[in-house]
Amino acid sequence: MSEPQPIFLSDYRPPAYRVTRTELTFDLDPHATRVKARLHIERHPEHEAGTPLELDGERLVLKRIAIDGQPLEPDEYQVGEAGLVVHRVPKAFLLDTEVEIAPDGNTALSGLYRSSGMFCTQCEAEGFRRITFYPDRPDVMASFSTTVIGDAEREPVLLSNGNPVERGELPGERHFVTWEDPHPKPSYLFALVAGDLRKVEDAFTTMSGRDVTLQIWVEEENLDKTEHAMASLKRAMRWDEQTYGREYDLDLFMIVAVNDFNMGAMENKGLNIFNSAAVLTHPRTATDAAFQRVEGIVAHEYFHNWSGNRVTCRDWFQLSLKEGFTVFRDQCFSADINSAPVKRIEDVAFFRTAQFAEDAGPTAHPVRPDHYIEIGNFYTLTIYEKGAEIVRMLSNLVGKEAFRRGSDLYFERFDGQAVTIEDFVGCMAEASGQDFEQFMRWYSQAGTPQIDAHGEYDYANAEYRLILRQRTPATPGQPEKQALHIPVRLGLVGTKSGRDLPLTLEGETLGTDTVIHLREEEQEFLFTEVSEAPVPSLLRGFSAPVKLHFPYSREDLAFLQAHDTDGFNRWDAGQRLSLLALDDLIAAHRNGVEKVMDPRVVEAFRVLLEAQPDDKAILAQMLTLPSEAYIAEQQPLVDVDAIHAARTFVRQGLALALRDDFLRIYRENQDDAPYAPEPEQIARRSLKNVALAYLMAIEDEDAVQLAREQFEADHNMTDVRHALTLLVHSSRSDIADPALKTFGETWAHDPLVMDQWFAIQVTRPQPDVLDRVRFLMAHPAFSLKNPNKVRALIGTFANQNPVNFHRADGAGYRLLADTVIELNRLNPEIAARLVTPLTHWARFDEDRQALMKGELERIRAEKLSPNVYELVEKALA
Ligand code: 0A1
Ligand code: ZN
């Protein structure tokens, strides 16, 4: 077999044939489903007669093909591995095909497959071609009619996109439902679900007064886990009306929960399909974090109805057009209904850890890539999260009102069309009168820009000179980088007054908080009338997705942590201060020197703990040290053991010095009120649990007792899981082991809780964990065929247990590679995602590099799916 070949953005051509209407009939059978398709096809006027009709198709057994009712002769068409070509077709015609497919054997979970006895589909990006022969590309948009025929007993529920228009009985205990979706859509938004499902129903009246029925379909045992998703959906629908003027456009909106799903969820028109982990919640089974994730994902998929479905992508290179914009929309939604500063801190902490690492590794790619081998590999943090940061910058640059005018223009002008990122940014330019020519480089240039900043205060002239230099490191295929347009929001905080100083720049008065525009490689900004020496607060709110270096002293950082008016930067100052102390300790550990706790860090924490917090959620964030992964991201060469030792040392040092404060905080925030996923309660729980984690860092009897009581109180999953994690990660196996056993037995029937049970165990820092991972892989609740299980056990181990994954003997790497090799055959998308930690080999010492590369080479020697092939090739290039 030849090597998979890349596809280039520059090769984009509009389709030669369009499909205006698609009529499908599914006769469901686990081993042999029959799919009949009638496509209304027209040749595009720009293409000449005689242009062959090319349709995508994979793993389809063609049973019948006819044009305008006339069966084709074998020499009139050709079926290959990737599709079907009909050599000559009329200008406009009806194409009828019938194919057979085997949902039961579909372990890739792309196309039509079976999950826990039900039929379901996943078509983005290129799954529809595993269902029928079709021009499976987003710029072909058709109205759909879908008839689903199933077994009356096994599949009492038959769902597809749009509105149900007909249903009836058929001979042989079969029945059917026909669905009509009037909104033209690309094939990737097609969906079908059939099975023995139950529904929870609600209603929503849109802003223009239309009634919409809302349904969440689940397996019977999950009927009590839908309330939060339904409430979130209604909030999201209202929010999109109020914030973007976007109204829902069908009479029915459905969500279905499935257990086997490659991603979080999918925005199929009118029939969103969700990974059960992204929709089901119950106070006893889901943590606060899970409740918030569900709220965000339900909103995200709903928002796609406009940003993705009504206006879609011309080609997959434009993926961030829908994903970056929709992530930005869901982030703003969550910020509006929870705490905006906390949401920003959480999002940025995640972004700087995971997206920065992606942007610095061998798979770094622009937000709009210019080539790919397998589009399934491009559902990345760069496309999603960095894409969202770009939209956020745009929104800040043009301002709220122009952004709304721009989005109105975009939705109106391009409704029902498949468009490009230029079309989106063009609307923003038109609505604001601004020029985004240089700004567009954010979409084409990969890598994280770095800003080196320094400043000088001139007492005599009361001036502050700020000098900013930008550089973007080379990334694969992009050795040279151009200067970006970087909006830097800032303030100058007076060291005497502790207040934001009024800003005057080039004679212009700008208030106390402003945005300066870095466009050149190096620029100087001279602030005048600066009445006292300031500490600059730079990149407020993380105003651009860059790394900012400024030579802050620890005193500066403690000062900003106490005085910055920007909540985000107050938090960030604390993180920077901790990082400086951690750096020293990492060096001490490596040099075998005795570790000493920086008293300035203890002092900064003491100030935090003793002040009356106005926002407990923020306080919890401020008390949380940078994660091991984020510390690693900052190091030139990652030493996982030194990082773990240093961070543990700081946690213990803080706990010893501030034990009574942590105990007090724990007690003050205990709460027996019935669980509610509300910001106020969540904040209290997170603060209490941060305090407990510090106390458990020194494992004194009181702390162990508190953790044990919290576990046994069994009040809600947030508290139970946290307490159990602390116990399992401690040295107290006398308490942890029975607790784990109880938990495992109590929840053996609930796959989502068992996922948490796996994750808790494989994040243990103790060296015996690898045996535990192997042991759990043989556990009856584990299955390689279920992506959630793979993520919970193997993914969590490889990504969240650095000291054990990077064991010096390479056993962690070997385990991951073994799993990737097995999964490559079963589910290439999941296999490719799993391989990521190995691709970062260049960040580690020589011995580990050799071991990691050795495993990558072992994988490469296999017969690989395009997904895994692309990543491994990049990693070894
Ligand atoms: N569009 C979905 C994400 C998604 C992408 C691919 C999938 O299958 C391979 C599934 C879902 C979203 O952004 O939520
Ligand atoms: Zn999305």
* CA-closest residue to ligand 1 atom 6: 124
What are the residue ranges in the chain where pLDDT is below 50? none
Residues, Cβ < 5 Å to ion ligand 2: 323, 326
Say which CATH number the domain at 796 has.
Answer: 1.25.50.10
Q: How far is the CA of 550 from the centre of ligand 2 (A)?
A: 35
**Measuring CA to CA, how many Å separate 295 from each of 17, 159, 288, 336?**
40, 24, 11, 12
Q: How far is the CA of 377 from the centre of ligand 1 (A)?
A: 11
Q: Which atom of ligand 1 is nearest to the CA of 322?
A: 13
Q: Which atom of ligand 1 is nearest to the CA of 301?
A: 14
Domain contains 322: yes
Taking the CA of 377 as reference, the closest ligand is 1
Q: How far is the CA of 229 from the centre of ligand 2 (A)?
A: 17
* CA-closest residue to ligand 1 atom 9: 124
CA separation for the pair 255, 297 (Å, rounded): 12
Provide the residue range defining the domain that includes 495. 450-544
Q: Are residues 863 and 752 in the same domain?
A: yes
Q: Are residues 31 and 172 in the same domain?
A: yes
Q: Is cis: bond before 877, omega within 30 of 0? A: no
CB 345 within 8 A of CB 568: yes
Task: Tell me what pLDDT residue 438 has.
Answer: 98
CA separation for the pair 59, 73 (Å, rounded): 22
Q: Are residues 554 and 499 in the same domain?
A: no
- Nearest residue to 188 via CA among 244, 139, 255, 257: 139
* CA-closest residue to ligand 1 atom 1: 266
- What lies within 8 Å, CB to CB, of 605 at 6+ separation is 623, 654, 657, 658
- Nearest residue to 303 via CA among 219, 388, 401, 198: 388
Q: Are residues 156 and 76 in the same domain?
A: yes
Say which CATH number the domain at 476 has.
Answer: 2.60.40.1840
* CA-closest residue to ligand 1 atom 13: 323
Could you tell me whether strands 118-122 and 111-115 are parallel, antiparallel, or unpaired per DSSP bridges?
antiparallel
* CA-closest residue to ligand 1 atom 4: 266
- Catalytic (active site) residue 301: yes
Work out the number of other CB atoms within 10 angstroms of the CB of residue 515.
Answer: 15
Half-sphere exposure of 99 (CA within 13 A, CB side): 26
- Nearest residue to 260 via CA among 60, 100, 59, 117: 117
Tell me which of 301, 385, 829, 855 is the catalytic residue: 301
| Local structure of 698: helix, strand or coil | helix
* CA-closest residue to ligand 1 atom 11: 266
Say which CATH number the domain at 403 has.
Answer: 1.10.390.10
Q: Which atom of ligand 1 is nearest to the CA of 326?
A: 13
- Nearest residue to 127 via CA among 455, 306, 374, 472: 374
786, 789, 792, 793: CA torsion to nearest 10: -120
Q: Are residues 665 and 785 in the same domain?
A: no
* CA-closest residue to ligand 1 atom 2: 266
Q: Which atom of ligand 1 is nearest to the CA of 376?
A: 9
Q: Which residues pair with 372 in a beta bridge?
A: 7
Q: How far is the CA of 36 from the centre of ligand 1 (A)?
A: 26
Q: How far is the CA of 195 from the centre of ligand 1 (A)?
A: 22
Domain contains 192: yes
Taking the CA of 124 as reference, the closest ligand is 1
Amino acid at 100: E
Domain contains 628: yes
Domain contains 211: no
Q: Are residues 799 and 826 in the same domain?
A: yes
- What ipTM is given for this predicted complex? 0.98
Q: Are residues 466 and 568 in the same domain?
A: no
Q: Are residues 660 and 809 in the same domain?
A: no
Taking the CA of 263 as reference, the closest ligand is 1
Among 698, 720, 738, identify where a domain stops.
698
Q: How far is the CA of 121 from the centre of ligand 2 (A)?
A: 17
CA separation for the pair 21, 822 (Å, rounded): 40
Q: Are residues 614 and 556 in the same domain?
A: yes
Q: How far is the CA of 384 from the centre of ligand 1 (A)?
A: 11
From 128, 129, 266, the mutation candidate for ligand 1 (largest count of ligand atoms within 8 A of CB) is 266
Structure tokens at 366: 């622009």
Number of domains within the chain: 5
Structure tokens at 829: 């998308």
From 124, 129, 306, the mutation candidate for ligand 1 (largest count of ligand atoms within 8 A of CB) is 124
Among 196, 218, 233, identify where a domain stops.
196
| Helices and strands per DSSP (H, E), number in the chain | 30, 33
- Nearest residue to 625 via CA among 611, 640, 604, 610: 604
Task: Tell me what pLDDT residue 1 has.
Answer: 52
Residues in the chain: 877
Q: Which atom of ligand 1 is nearest to the CA of 379?
A: 5
Domain contains 80: yes
Q: Are residues 67 and 189 in the same domain?
A: yes
Amino acid at 2: S
Which residues are near ligand 1 (CB < 6 Å)? 122, 124, 262-267, 300-301, 323, 376, 379, 829
For 206-288, strand residue ranges (E) read 211-218, 252-258, 265-266, 271-275
- What lies within 8 Å, CB to CB, of 279 at 6+ separation is 216, 226, 229, 255, 257, 265, 294, 297, 298
Domain contains 437: yes
Alpha helices in 257-364 (DSSP H): 288-303, 319-337, 340-350, 356-359
CA separation for the pair 221, 219 (Å, rounded): 6
Among 443, 459, 493, identify where a domain stops.
443
CA separation for the pair 838, 857 (Å, rounded): 11
Domain contains 146: yes
Domain contains 605: yes
Q: Are residues 381 and 514 in the same domain?
A: no
Structure tokens at 388: 């969202």
Q: Are residues 474 and 383 in the same domain?
A: no
- Nearest residue to 174 via CA among 32, 27, 72: 27
